[in-house]
Structures are given as C-alpha cells and as structure tokens.
Chains A and B, each alone.
Chain A
C-alpha cells in the first residue's frame, strides 16, 4: 500500500538568486518501509523532507499522503494532518524546554484530543518505557542528556501512532553509541511494529542498514 507519493515535485529558492533545489522528484513509499534520504550537503535532501512533511507548501508538483492530495489543503488542515499522521524527530531534538518529559510526549495527543487525559498519560508512560525513559518522566526535558532527549523526541513522535515518522538527521548530533541506540529503535519500530520511517541522514552506516535508500544529487534522485 502506498502511503506517500511524490509526483514530480520541484522547488525553487528565489533568494538571493533563483535556484532550483528540487528537480522533478517522483517516488512512492510503501507502508512499513524504512527509507533513508541521503546525499551531500546542498543536495536538497532536507528541503525535500520538509516538503514531504507538509510544513513547506511552496513547491510545484503533487504530494499524496495516505491517499489524500495535500496541494489544495489549507494550512490548518495540514496541521491537523501532521498532528494525526506524521511524527517528527529533528536533528536538534527540539523539545519544549519548559515542560517535563511526560508533558512533551503528551502534547501531540492532547492536541489531537481523541483520548482522555488519563489514557494519554498511560500511553505516554508506555512510550517512555519503550524507549527506556520511564524514570525521567517528571524531569524537565532540558535536564536530559543529548541521547535521552533524542529518545524522548522519538517517544513524542510515536504518541499518536502516526502513519509515518520523519527524521531530519535524527542521529546527526549524537555520539556513536547513541546513534546506535537510536538506529536500533528505528529498526525495531520498522521490523516489529511495521512503522513507516523516512529519515534524512548523511551517516552512510545508518543509511546502509535501512530498507531503502533514496540518494539525491543537486536536487535530482540518482538512486532510489
């Protein structure tokens, strides 16, 4: 089942001079695939991920997520779609530093509002336990180590059982030990839970262990 379809997506930067970052990119991603986007810096891989994430709407072409054409959705509808169907893990973990770990994990689910607060809390504890963070639940997220923060970000990405997890260099800021841990988590999610994952990385080791590698060069797909 196709979960994400990119149909000839192109994107231009106009500042300082017009420049085509993404050139007619087309590919499909199947449910349960662990895909990595690789390429040298400036190849457009992060830009592509932001387009796929629906956060960047300034592009040409078609993006279909879970059978829904996103081109004519409003920003608020896209926000709803992200809330329900996409989980994010960023390079610089991007947690809300004023909130506890538990609150950080709960936020997307509270926003979705499909479950009661109690159920959400229970689920959040489950996710934290899954990532080995149960004992950190009530600490402020800013008090955790880098590796712990990245795991917390993954727990947050998982809370709404999203269709796709997107990672922007999820291991880019971690030492080799933590990189291994994060990778193992991704692999486990993909193998044991059938989770679809799209991650941008420049870590060849990380990429080589994934199901599928899409390589970009100068805004074009050269391997997929």
Chain B
C-alpha cells in the first residue's frame, strides 16, 4: 500500500463517526435508487404480463376500408363526396399463406389464427352476454398461458373436441356450471349450439372471467356461419415485446393487412406507465442527488478539519496531487462501502416486498432484483462519491501551506 492510501486509511479508521455517517448517506441513496427503479420495472413487467394474458404482441386484422374512386383519369382528380365504409367482410383472405409468411419473419415466435364471436351463454332461463374466442388450443396456450389459469378441468380436453368449451370462473359461478355440464350458446348470427364444459379458467381479471370463453376455431367459425378459411385475427408473439411496433409495420407492409402492436392497442395503459416512469425517475434521482450532496458536505467537512494536516503534509513535501489522491481514496472507499451496503439494503427491501400480498390478478408485490438497476446504482453512486471527494480535495490541494500556518 502506498503512503497516500495509508494516510487515507488512517483517516477513515480514526474518524469512525464521520465515515459512518458518510457511508450511511450513500447506503440510503443507493438502496432507495435501486429499490425504486426495481419497483418501476416490476410494475412495468406485471402490467405487460397482465396485458399479454389476453392480448398478443401484435394483432393482424383487416381494417375497415373507406370507399374511394376506382378509376383515376389522367390529370383530373376524382373525388367521392360523403364516402362510406366498404361493406366487405372483415376476413383475412387465404389465412394459411399470411400465417406462413409471417412465420418466416425474424424474431417471430408464435403465430396463431383466432376467430372472435359475440355470443350469449344460456343455461336454463339465465342468459349472459359474452365473447367467445375460437382458438387453436396449443398455440393459444403458448401465447396466453391459458393452462396456467385453469382451475378445473384441462385445456388438453379442448383439443380435438369440437364441442368442448373453456369458460371463465365468473360465468361458471353465475350459472352454477361445473366441468362436464353443458352450456347452450347463441351467436350473433342466430346459431344455437350446445357445448360441453371441459375446463374453467380464472385470470383474476373480473371482466374477462365473467365474459370470456374459448372454443376450437372450427366451432367459432360454425357459430358465425362461416367456412373453415374464415379468420378475423392473426395473433403474433415475438421475442422482445418492445419491438412490437417495428415488426408490426413490417408485417403490415408485407401482408397488406393492418398490424397493430400491443402498445398501440393499450395506449391508456402505456400513458400511465410512462407517467409512473417519469415520477419514479425524478424521485429516485432526487434521492441520489440529495445523498450525493450529503456525502459532498461530509467530505468537505473532513477536509476542512484536516486543513492543518494538509498544510503539514505539503510542508513535508507532499504534492498537490498527493493531497487529492488521499482524499479521493477516502471518498472512493466511503463510496465502495456505501455501494456494497446499499446493494445489500436494496436486496433486503426487495426481498421483504416480494413477500407482501397485494391481491387481484397481480398477487404478490411485483418487484424483482433488476441487475441493470444494480449496475446503474453502482456507477452513479461511485461517480457521485468520486466527485464529492475530488472537488473539495482539489480546492485543498491548491492552498499554500503558509496561508494556513499564518492563521
């Protein structure tokens, strides 16, 4: 250990109180910074997760078209007054080809077709309105993790059973339906069909639980009086949900159908998320800055206290840079201790919160150990402590020892 480091070490050890206060300041700032940011990311992940339970990353569908002139004569502009929506079916033509072409794209993980139908559940005299999704059970399970929400029966029973249906727990409660009971469904096209309940799911999102049901694509097509090429939606999941918008535009361009990313589809949620992000970033940065300012003050105080020592050291032949090194070493040591303490504290807080039950479709408090936030915290903490030591040390290094001796 060189002489400057030795002196710094002596100062740290002999002024335990000051060192302790400085370290505590860094610990506090660091832990709150890491914890707040982990919480933010946890919230984001939880809310995306709950969105992805029912929403695909990208939804491809045929958008309504506005009628426009078919001919364009040279030079003259044709204009339709009062244009209307073209009364065409919202079906995707040749869905097999569209699906296979999307599947070939980069980063695409799951592509599945879906047919949605508005329906009534009838059982005896009671009637509930709802939405029935015709799915391919295997693909849909990979996309929405339906099997993880099933409380009774199984998703597997839906496979190869054109008369099977999965209903939400809300529907089953209201109509006292159990697995193996029959439910009569009436579609908007007037088709009446009895389904056998093969499973009940519970997402903890009450709107979904009270309305939604899953059947095979074929059954849904029958409910809509359509043939087996009738597909309204193609759902796509990709590797990184954050790329949804980019890939959606690519899909739009290559297939000609409207492709919508999940962020676009959930604009309100996204706005809330952005707002939360801004608030937490402000709060955590402020805390870090306040802690940094505290450290600066404490180190500044140490240097003021040690101004005589600095003069003696300089008289004995220590250079300005030696003085800076001594106090920066001291600051950085405080920083390292504080950063380690802060990480432990943050881990402790996060661990405690992970065991807090908040209920709803969230369950336990959604917070995880975010490595990137730990690294960010370390970097920011070290930079602040470095400058908190460097700035006052630089000032002290420029003082003439005679000025101090003359006092």
- Chain A interfacial positions (CB closer than 8 Å to B): 50, 53, 55-57, 75-76, 79-84, 88, 90, 94-96, 98-99, 103, 107-108, 110-113, 156, 168
A76 touches B400 (CB 8 A): no
Inter-chain CA distance A73–B402, complex, in Å, is 18
- Chain B interfacial positions (CB closer than 8 Å to A): 3, 6-7, 10-11, 14-15, 308-309, 311-322, 400-402, 405
Which chain B residue has the least Cβ–Cβ distance from A100? B10
Give every chain A residue within 8 A of B309 (Cβ-Cβ): 96, 98
B401 touches A55 (CB 8 A): yes
Given A56-B400, A110-B3: A94 in contact with B317 (beta carbons within 8 A): no
A111 touches B400 (CB 8 A): no
Give every chain B residue within 8 A of A113 (Cβ-Cβ): 3
The smallest C-beta distance from B316 to any residue of chain A, in angstroms, reads: 5
Which chain B residue has the least Cβ–Cβ distance from A156? B316
B318 touches A111 (CB 8 A): yes
Give every chain A residue within 8 A of B3 (Cβ-Cβ): 107, 110-111, 113
B320 touches A76 (CB 8 A): yes
A82 touches B312 (CB 8 A): no
Find B14's partner among A57, A84, A98 (CB 8 Å cutoff). Answer: A98
Inter-chain CA distance A107–B360, complex, in Å, is 66
A84 touches B317 (CB 8 A): yes
B314 touches A79 (CB 8 A): yes
The smallest C-beta distance from A39 to any residue of chain B, in angstroms, reads: 17
Which chain B residue has the least Cβ–Cβ distance from A168? B405
- Interface of A, secondary structure class, is helix
A76 touches B315 (CB 8 A): no
Given A50-B405, A56-B402, A111-B3: A80 in contact with B317 (beta carbons within 8 A): yes
Inter-chain CA distance A156–B322, complex, in Å, is 19
Given A98-B10, A98-B11: A55 in contact with B317 (beta carbons within 8 A): no
B312 touches A94 (CB 8 A): yes
A111 touches B322 (CB 8 A): yes
The smallest C-beta distance from B405 to any residue of chain A, in angstroms, reads: 7
B319 touches A76 (CB 8 A): yes
Give every chain A residue within 8 A of B405 (Cβ-Cβ): 50, 55, 90, 94, 168
A83 touches B316 (CB 8 A): yes
Which chain A residue has the least Cβ–Cβ distance from B10? A98
